[in-house]
């Protein structure tokens, strides 16, 4: 929390995100059980703990055999790759022409369908750490709707401000916001950070135009930020890709911390971000899961971590973290090296 107050602490804090295959491989590397997430966090020296809610009601949507479906109707299928696999979104049952009647008939969960009872006990049990409530999908419009409507149709809805498309967005957000509001109330002031997100960039450019963002996306995000501030929480905003074009808007809205920070994306160079935005935003991320962590040697990982820390550490305001979930194509040695280097080199 000293770091996020733009002050230099004893060292740079670190965080952790990983998919299941590499997570299990790391636990086995340290001699831990496959489900010992707390043990792994301690081995890696992770400084954050996170919690949110789980959906507990019966399924609202069916799906063909071999397809998983969530409470919103988003379908995923298992796709194998050389180092494991991924549940990838498919089918998009709400794609195509939308009408008000079709939107209103689509089954959606109730906020009452989520379990909030574990949040306060989790905060109490992890009171020595800053607690992050929420996650990258909270408040997210394009990705969340795109998961069951399809990205092409969703982007068309946003850009054209199609009335039925906006109605679908607002139906989802009304439920999502109420879930977030109840989660924040359950945590109270026992949590320190609220996380939400929206991917706003490709690797090369904005995914939508700035004016569209300001008309359609920004006002819908503002109330999440204001709700978190009522409880005294910092707001961390997850945003992949080339997204620095929106950082001034985010700072004005009350965002405190930007998460992800993919250094290979356009206009996302660490030195540029630190110089241009480091006085008004904090940063969480920057170690690319699509770069040396996956494809380099351990020494290259060490060099990249040190280079990033040299740029981002001065004046505080930075937590070292992978840019996304560490994927299963990252060698265990590289991941371990990342955290060892952060502990050894990330000291003031």
CATH of the domain at 146: 3.20.20.210
Give pLDDT tens digits for 219-232. 999 999 999 999 99
- Model confidence at 258, pLDDT cuts 50, 70, 90, reads very high
User: Euclidean distance between the first and final Cα of the chain, in Å?
Assistant: 16
Residue 83 lies in a domain: no
Q: What is the pLDDT of residue 161?
A: 98
pLDDT band at 133 (very low <50, low <70, confident <90, very high): very high
Q: What percent of the chain has pLDDT above 70?
A: 100
**For residues 264 and 204, what is the distance between their CA atoms, to the nearest angstrom?**
9
Cα 169 to chain centroid, rounded: 19
- Per-residue pLDDT tens over the stretch 276-326: 999 999 999 999 999 999 999 999 999 999 999 999 999 999 999 999 999
Domain-located, residue 138: yes
Does some domain include residue 84? no
The number of residues making up the chain comes to 348
Q: What is the pLDDT of residue 102?
A: 98
Distance CA 160, CA 164 (A): 11
Q: How many CB atoms lie within 10 A of CB 228?
A: 26
Please state, in angstroms and rounded to a whole number, the distance separating the CA atoms of residues 239 and 234: 16
* Residue of 262, 141, 244, 147 lying closest to 203 (CA atoms): 262
Alpha-carbon separation of residue 112 from 53, 55, 120 (angstroms): 11, 9, 17
pLDDT computed for residue 298 by the predictor: 98
pTM for the whole structure: 0.97
Distance CA 39, CA 31 (A): 10
Task: Using the CB atoms, write b or e for 25-58: b if 16+ within 10 Å.
Answer: bbbeeeebeeeeeeebbebbebbbbbbbbeeeee
What one-character DSSP code corresponds to residue 58? Answer: P
Query: Would you state the pLDDT for residue 227?
Result: 98
Read off the tokens for 202. Answer: 């490709």
**With contact defined as beta carbons under 8 Å apart, do 55 and 109 qualify?**
yes
Across all residues in the chain, what is the average pLDDT?
Answer: 97
Residue of 86, 201, 217 lying closest to 157 (CA atoms): 217
Q: For 324-346, how does the pLDDT look when each residue is reduced to its tens digit (9 = 90+)?
A: 999 999 999 999 999 999 999 99
- SS3 for 51? strand
pLDDT of residue 163: 98
Q: Are 239 and 197 in contact (CB under 8 A)?
A: yes
Contacts of 144 (CB under 8 A, 6+ apart): 72, 137, 172, 176
Q: Residue 140 and residue 238: Cα distance in Å, rounded?
A: 9
What burial letters (b/e) apply to 95-127, b meaning 16+ CB within 10 Å? Answer: eeebeeeebeebebbebebbebeebbebbeebe
Question: Which pLDDT score is estimated for 268?
Answer: 97
Q: How far apart are CA 233 and CA 285, in angstroms?
A: 20
The proportion of the chain whose per-residue pLDDT surpasses 90, expressed as a percent, equals 99
Question: Residue 87: inside a domain, yes or no?
Answer: no
pLDDT in tens, 184-234: 999 999 999 999 999 999 999 999 999 999 999 999 999 999 999 999 999
For residue 168, is it within any domain?
A: yes
The model's confidence at residue 238, banded by pLDDT at 50, 70 and 90, is very high
Q: Which two tokens stand for residue 147?
A: 């998961």
How many independent structural domains does the chain possess? 1
Is 319 a domain residue? yes
Query: Burial, 279: exposed, middle or buried (Cβ in 10 Å; 0-12, 13-18, 19+)?
Result: exposed
Q: Which domain holds residue 24?
A: 3-58+94-345
The predicted structure's pLDDT at residue 21: 95
Residue 264 lies in a domain: yes
Do the domain assignments include residue 72?
A: no
**pLDDT, tens only, 51-94:** 999 999 999 999 999 999 999 999 999 999 998 899 999 999 99
């Amino acid at each position: 929390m000293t770091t996020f107050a733009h002050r230099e602490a004893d060292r740079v804090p670190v965080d952790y995100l990983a998919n299941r295959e590499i997570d299990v491989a790391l636990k086995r590397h340290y001699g831990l059980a496959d489900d010992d997430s707390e043990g792994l966090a301690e081995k890696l020296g992770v400084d954050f703990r996170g919690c949110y809610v789980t959906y507990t009601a019966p399924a609202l949507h069916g799906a063909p055999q071999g397809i998983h479906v969530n409470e919103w109707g988003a379908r995923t299928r298992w796709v194998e790759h050389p180092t494991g696999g991924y549940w990838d979104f498919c089918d998009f049952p709400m794609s195509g022409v939308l009408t008000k009647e079709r939107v209103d008939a689509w089954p959606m969960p109730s906020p009452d369908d989520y379990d909030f009872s574990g949040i306060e006990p989790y905060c109490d049990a992890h009171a020595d750490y800053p607690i992050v409530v929420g996650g990258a999908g909270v408040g997210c419009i394009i990705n969340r709707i795109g998961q069951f409507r399809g990205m092409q149709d969703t982007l068309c809805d946003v850009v054209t401000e199609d009335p039925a498309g906006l109605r679908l967005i607002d139906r989802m957000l009304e439920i999502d916001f109420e879930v977030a509001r109840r989660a924040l109330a359950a945590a109270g002031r026992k949590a320190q950070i609220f996380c939400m997100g929206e991917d706003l960039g490709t690797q090369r450019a904005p995914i939508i135009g700035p004016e569209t963002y300001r008309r359609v996306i920004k006002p819908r995000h503002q109330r999440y930020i204001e709700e978190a501030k009522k409880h005294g929480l910092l707001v961390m905003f997850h945003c992949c890709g080339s997204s620095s074009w929106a950082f001034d808007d985010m700072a004005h809205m009350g965002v405190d911390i930007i998460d992800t920070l993919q250094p290979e994306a356009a206009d996302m160079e660490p030195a540029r971000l630190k110089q241009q935005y480091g006085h008004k935003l904090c940063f969480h991320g920057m170690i690319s899961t699509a770069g040396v962590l996956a494809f380099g040697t351990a020494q290259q990982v060490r060099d990249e971590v040190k280079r990033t820390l040299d740029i981002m550490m001065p004046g505080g305001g930075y937590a070292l973290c992978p840019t996304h979930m560490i994927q299963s194509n990252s060698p265990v040695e590289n991941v371990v090296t990342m955290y060892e280097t952060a502990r050894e080199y990330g000291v003031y």
